[in-house]
Amino acid sequence: MDKHDKQLHSKDPGRIKQGRVSGLRLLSAIWIGKALIGLTRILGRGGTTLPGRTALTIAPDLSYLLANRLEMGTIIITGTNGKTTTAALINGILKEAGLRCIHNQSGSNLTWGIASTFIENSTWLGRINGDLAVLEVDEGAFPTLTASLQPRGIIVTNIFRDQLDRFGEIDSIQGLIQKGLDHLPSDSFLIINADDPTLASLKNSTNSSRWTYGLELKLPAHNFNNTGRDIKTCPVCFKRLAYNMIYFAHIGHYYCPSCSFKRPEVKVKLTRNNIDSKGLNHVQVCLPDQKLDLTIPLLGIYNLYNVLAAATCAIALNISSSIISSSLEKAAPSFGRMERFEKENKEIIMALIKNPVGANEVLRTILDQPGNINLIVAINDRIADGTDISWIWDVDFEQLSTTKNRITTVIASGLRAFDMAVRFKYAGFEPEQLLVTESLNQAIETALEQTAPGSRLFILPTYTAMLEMRRYLNKLGLGKPYWGGS
């Protein structure tokens, strides 16, 4: 563990010491970082970790010094799920507004990933090529980076169990986020998902402005076991919470029968959602002073929250509603998040999974789609994935086995392919129904062979598996590397 890793979990991250790096050291860090970005991309590796990690050893203040040169400051998005998509949506809105945005679109969101983003978007002389930065930030890195970057605004999407080997239970994640908020400048804004009770109890200790968003929908009941409901008690009096509506996990309209704690008043809300035969969401978003009727080309209930978060951020930045509408209706799935590819009239949809809540919602979205199901679940256990994969036992894979008549192919792959095969066995699949291969490339080749023209192949990988499988799809001529645009 290097000094940057240690900062992520320090008891009091404080502010990174600033202003002590000479101009020559800063330029040296930028030059070396840019050279490493170029080299790693020639090698097809992406260039998000090594360049930033190396540059920070030379100039620890690099991110602060470059961010401080942005005229409009920095927007940080954190939380367990939805960071990448929300950041991409905000980035799209601001670009449509004519602003030059810096954005870590690969999803590399630790201190070195942020540093790499700033290096890539600066000149060789240290000038920054942007008006503002839109950065998704890992919850563990959030306290350090908030203290350092002093952002103009923060969006917190939700808190769920995630990477138990790093974070522990959700109260640890909540504590990290609260530490970060304690460093929020008083002239900034905070945006939270009002439907998550763990966020409603967060405090604005610096008196920054506070915005809220949430759903106002009546949804039909579904058959999924709510295995991701992490919050069951009131964060104030610790009595059991009650709900008027649960959208998934512990997200919904909650109140405590024993004290005054309840879902806060919502400033930006989604009041209507109709899904057409193509899977498009026809929604109505209510802003503080008007209503927007939009067609959103993103799958899943969870993406409605990402849309609301982005719209709320745009309103806080005084972006016009016409620009918000135009941008959101053109939104495309972000890097590895319900991202679509097509090969020989076969549609491939890749959806990152990393915890029970996110995986359950991806499965629910898949089962809501028409037609047969061809599926790869690829589980790695590298540091970026989380080395503890016990979360797969809290995912409701049993729902797949209840629709076996629709399932053509099921492949367990990745470094923990055999663990995933065991999970499928206990979900109700017979051994002869499964294919198991640790080779991610082989999994893709086999699944494509077994997917009929006109059908869909769903790939559900963890983070490092997603990067590797996406590179292989790029080699097949599908899509582009993230740095080449989507």
Residue 378: the pLDDT is 97
Tell which of 329, 351, 380 closes a domain: 329
Is 466 found in the same domain as 344?
A: yes
Task: Classify residue 49: in a domain, yes or no.
Answer: no
Number of domains within the chain: 2
Is 376 found in the same domain as 236?
A: no
Is 272 found in the same domain as 137?
A: yes
Q: Which amino acid is at 375?
A: L
Q: Are 266 and 212 in contact (CB under 8 A)?
A: yes
Is 183 found in the same domain as 317?
A: yes
Tell which of 261, 296, 329 closes a domain: 329
Distance, in Å, from the CA atom of 37 to the CA atom of 48, rounded to the nearest integer, reads 7
Q: Which amino acid is at 179?
A: K
Is 217 found in the same domain as 244?
A: yes
Give 131: exposed, middle or buried? Use CB within 10 Å, 0-12, 13-18, 19+: middle
Task: Please report the DSSP string for 131-179 in residue order.
Answer: SEEEEE--TTTHHHHHHHH--SEEEE-------HHHH-SHHHHHHHHHH
Residue 421: the pLDDT is 95
* Residues 6+ positions from 110 with CB-CB distance below 8 Å: 4, 8, 49, 138, 140, 141
Residue 432: the pLDDT is 84
Is 271 found in the same domain as 142?
A: yes
Residue 331: the pLDDT is 85
Residue 229: the pLDDT is 58
pLDDT in tens, the chain (486 residues): 344 333 333 333 333 344 455 688 999 999 999 999 888 887 766 667 889 999 999 999 999 999 999 999 999 999 988 898 999 999 999 999 999 999 988 768 889 899 999 999 999 999 999 999 999 999 889 999 999 999 999 999 998 875 544 444 677 888 899 999 998 888 899 999 999 999 988 887 777 799 999 999 887 655 555 555 566 788 888 899 999 998 888 899 999 999 989 999 999 999 998 877 766 789 999 999 899 999 988 877 888 999 999 999 999 999 999 999 999 999 877 766 788 898 988 999 999 998 888 898 889 888 877 788 899 999 999 988 888 899 999 899 988 887 877 888 899 999 999 999 999 999 988 888 899 999 999 999 999 999 999 888 999 999 999 999 999 998 898 876 655 544
Find the CATH number of the domain harbouring 424: 3.90.190.20
Beta-bridge partner residues of 270: 215, 285
Q: Which residue has the tokens 């909650």?
A: 254
Is 424 found in the same domain as 316?
A: no
Distance, in Å, from the CA atom of 204 to the CA atom of 157, rounded to the nearest integer, reads 16
Task: Please report the DSSP string for 36-56 in residue order.
Answer: HHHHHHHTTS-SSSHHHHHHH
Task: Classify residue 209: in a domain, yes or no.
Answer: yes
Residues in the chain: 486
Question: Rg for the chain (alpha carbons), in Å?
Answer: 22
Is 453 found in the same domain as 341?
A: yes
**Strand (E) or helix (H) holding 8:** helix 3-8
- Residue 141, CB-side half-sphere exposure with 13 Å CA sphere: 22
Is 403 found in the same domain as 447?
A: yes
Reduced to 3 states (helix: H, G, I; strand: E, B; else coil), residue 74 is strand
Tell which of 278, 306, 329 closes a domain: 329
Residue 102: the pLDDT is 93
Distance, in Å, from the CA atom of 312 to the CA atom of 289, rounded to the nearest integer, reads 12
**3-state per-residue secondary structure call for 270-287:** EEEEEECCCCCEEEEEEC
Active site residues: 388
Distance, in Å, from the CA atom of 22 to the CA atom of 65, rounded to the nearest integer, reads 11
Q: Are 8 and 141 in contact (CB under 8 A)?
A: yes
Residue 144: the pLDDT is 93
Task: Classify residue 24: in a domain, yes or no.
Answer: no
Task: Please report the DSSP string for 88-138 in residue order.
Answer: HHHHHHHHHTT--EEE-TT---SHHHHHHHHHHTB-TTS-B--SEEEEE--
Is 354 found in the same domain as 325?
A: no
Task: Classify residue 460: in a domain, yes or no.
Answer: yes
Reported for 398-401, long-range contacts at CB under 8 A and 24+ positions apart, including other chains, are 398/225, 398/427, 398/428, 399/223, 399/224, 399/363, 399/364, 399/367, 400/363, 400/367, 400/373, 400/375, 400/427, 400/429, 401/427, 401/428, 401/429
Range of the domain at 301: 74-106+129-329
Is 429 found in the same domain as 280?
A: no
